[in-house]
Chains A and B, each alone.
Chain A
Amino acid sequence: MEIPVELKHHKTISAGHKGLTEPLLVRWLLTGVALIFLSLFLFVPLTALFTQAFEKGAGAYFAAIREPDALSAVRLTLLTAAISVPLNLVFGVAAAWAIAKFQFPGKSLLITLIDLPFSVSPVISGLIYVLLFGLQGWLGPWLDLHDIKIIFAVPGIVLATIFVTFPFIARELIPLMQAQGNDEEEAALVLGAKGLQTFFRVTLPNIKWGLTYGVILCNARAMGEFGAVSVVSGHIRGFTNTIPLHVEILYNEYNYAAAFAVASLLACLALVTLVAKSIVEWKLKVSN
């Protein structure tokens, strides 16, 4: 099988030109080594995951997923994503509008600060909320007095999830809206459109694929976050366990088949995310 070389945008250059590609053997070798590397770290583990999930048969698989604790973990994960993704969506659009459409001092500092949660270890993302709302924390005594539980309860899980998914949508929209400029919005305003009308009828159609892309990534992380949520959750079965935490508990109980069965749900989510991402990337390329 021949591996033809293709130099993008420059098809006129003869592809077989000796100096512009490697000997066949080198091409085969490089491709082979790259594929072995990817297999060791991606393909073999992914295949093993699904094999392990069905190790004890389809019956055990579905039993593990339908068990009450698993179902409550699924519910909590869906709830967490349903709260944190829309909040970060509204923030992302507002931040992108202010940053991409206007010039003001301190803009690059603001962009750096928005990216901050990506550079912080998930463990620290959870710890900061424990220090704020935990019993030993700043607001802990007051919250305890008024019987409000945030840490080791659902609000803490939601807060930690919002923190770790904070930048996704904003950082997708800012460069996109910067590249699109202000011309279309200004034209709409001159033609008499109101501010919100301009946003919904001019800006939103222009950014819909970038927005979708950000939401997909944000959602995947929101449903899959482990470290930050683990710190604030308290691991109360049936109450404060998300799907990743439920997987951890099953695994630590040596209930491997069930752990992998529940984990396979998250792996499916990851695969759906990758497919959706590829489609949206293609749409973005077409629309630009």
Chain B
Amino acid sequence: MRLKGFKIEGGVLPGFGPTLGYTVFYLSLIVLIPLSALVFKATSLSWHEFLAEVTSARVMASYRLTFGTAFLAALVNAVFGVMVAWVLVRYRFPGRKVIDAMVDLPFALPTAVAGITLATVYSGNGWIGRYLEPLGVKVAYTPLGILVAMTFIGLPFVVRTVQPVLEELEAEVEEAAVCLGANRLQAFRLVLFPTILPALLTGFALAFARAVGEYGSIIFIAGNMPMVSEITPLLIITKLEQYDYSGATAVASVMLGASFIMLFTINLLQWWSRRYTGK
């Protein structure tokens, strides 16, 4: 009998040591050591130099553009994502299954391909752009183009976080609301909306975080004018190409810090979400 395994918390199964050891080794090699290289490189700058790098006018303009547009894109996705999830769960129409599967396209389509396609479609003579230009709306090569690209890559997040909550919603809850005299809008506002809110916020935060770091799908449609349509990830690459390693590292470490904060927020939201749905 092999009862030695009982020492390990969790049962008689073997292999805890080697698998955990390999996990930590591989994680350190691929993720932790390279990421700490960034942090160490950033700390080699003096506080004064660092602050000057990360608060220069061009960098500040890129933060405003990147975070501001990512927020707007996440907002667009929050509104339309709930609508898409609602329609996919509640209504039946031909092609629903295909459309449901296609929602994941932004996850599967390489960002460079998305970038050149959106730039072409939304340019002045593109399939959609040609109808917007007479209205005075220029999308490609303006900050509006960045909004389009960020909306595209964040599109699946809200749909995919809200959809399962809507699917598992008990009909009795809505029935009770109706029996108590609520009309449809009141039932949505007072009963359904609070239930999907944690999932909606999680999806919003995921879409926002993805849009902030996005590079490939944006650079083709953005125009990339310093101070106007230059996103922070592009600015990091520009600095790198000019051999300004410390500048690139300083800005990148600010972005990394922002990623950590967003990751922490998303974890909190998911924890709240699970508590709320009791799963």
Contacts and interface: CB of A to CB of B under 8 A. Distances in A.
Interface string A120-133: 11111001111110
A145 interface: no
A20 B91 CA distance: 12
A117 B240 contact: no
Contact of A226 (B108, B112, B167, B234): B112
Contacts of A91: 22-23, 26-27
A277 B128 contact: no
Given A123-B236, A248-B112, 13 more contacts: A1-B93, A20-B178, A41-B151, A48-B126, A91-B22, A121-B215, A127-B248, A131-B249, A163-B30, A217-B107, A224-B112, A266-B109, A278-B101
B259 to A, nearest CB: 4
Contacts of B216: 122, 226-227, 230, 244
B207 interface: no
Interface residues of B, number: 102
Contact of A124 (B89, B93, B155, B213): B213
Contacts of B112: 224, 226, 244-245, 247-248, 263, 266
Interface string A232-257: 00000000000111011001000010
Contacts of A115: 263
Contacts of B175: 13, 19-20
A71 interface: no
Contacts of A186: 11-13
B31 interface: yes
A247 to B, nearest CB: 5
Given A46-B105, A136-B245, A277-B104, A94 B110 contact: no
Interface of B: 2, 8-16, 18-20, 22-24, 26-27, 30-35, 37-38, 41, 80, 83-84, 86-93, 99, 101-114, 116-118, 120-121, 126-128, 148, 151-152, 155, 167, 170-172, 174-175, 177-178, 182-184, 187, 209, 212-216, 220, 233-234, 236-237, 240, 243, 245, 248-249, 252, 255-256, 259-260, 262-263, 266-267
A30 B23 contact: no
A225 interface: yes
A131 B209 CA distance: 24
A244 B23 contact: no
Interface centre among B24, B35, B128 (most CB of A within 10 A): B35
B110 A128 contact: no
Contacts of A131: 34, 37-38, 41, 245, 249
Interface residues of A, number: 106
A110 to B, nearest CB: 7
Contacts of A286: none
A5 interface: yes
A45 B121 contact: yes
Interface of B is mostly: helix
Interface of A: 1, 3-8, 10, 13, 17, 19-22, 26-27, 30-31, 33-35, 37-38, 40-46, 48-49, 52, 91, 94-95, 97-99, 101-104, 110, 112-117, 119-124, 127-132, 136-138, 159, 162-163, 166, 182, 185-186, 189-190, 195, 198-199, 217, 220, 223-227, 230-231, 243-245, 247-248, 251, 256, 259-260, 263, 266-267, 269-271, 273-275, 277-278
A19 B177 CA distance: 9
Contacts of B35: 116, 120, 128
A255 to B, nearest CB: 11
B81 to A, nearest CB: 9
